[in-house]
Copies of this chain bind each other. A is one copy, B any other.
């Protein structure tokens, strides 16, 4: 642990995908590291779940697919992605997950809105 501001930030997060949580109602977000500069977390989808198209005006974001398979949208492009694929959504560009084909875990890294 490293103290930063009021709450301790975890430094070593072994097998981070094991922090994934799933719910029948909708995709789940699990925050792993959160600072004033950076957010690292998991986006967790059951088959058929989605993340609606949205954008972050002042923040860059990327997804690294850890497991599963899904259709991801960035700008006007939609692509099927799977484990080991990286997707980058620059600030101001719409992005989202159209559907997960199976149970899918994505690591998400995002700068904070400036």
Q: Which of A34-42, A44-52, A96-104 contacts B (4 or more CB under 8 A)?
A: A34-42
Which residue, A37, A62, A85, has most C-beta atoms of chain B within 10 A? A37
CB-based contact B114/A11 at 8 Å = no
Who on chain B is nearest to A13 by CB?
B86
Beta-carbon contacts under 8 Å, A73-88 to B:
74-75, 77, 79, 81, 84-88
Which of B13, B77, B87 contacts A13 (CB under 8 A)?
B87
Residues of chain B within 8 A (CB-CB) of A11 are 74-75, 77, 87-90, 93
Residues of chain B within 8 A (CB-CB) of A90 are 2, 4, 9, 11, 35
**What is the interface of chain A mostly: helix, strand, loop, or mixed?**
strand
Could you list 22 examples of A-B contacts with CB < 8 Å?
A2-B93, A4-B90, A11-B77, A12-B87, A13-B85, A13-B86, A14-B85, A14-B86, A15-B84, A16-B85, A17-B84, A33-B60, A35-B60, A35-B91, A37-B91, A37-B114, A38-B62, A38-B111, A40-B86, A64-B64, A66-B84, A111-B111
Q: How far is the CA of A10 from the CA of B86 in the complex (A)?
A: 10
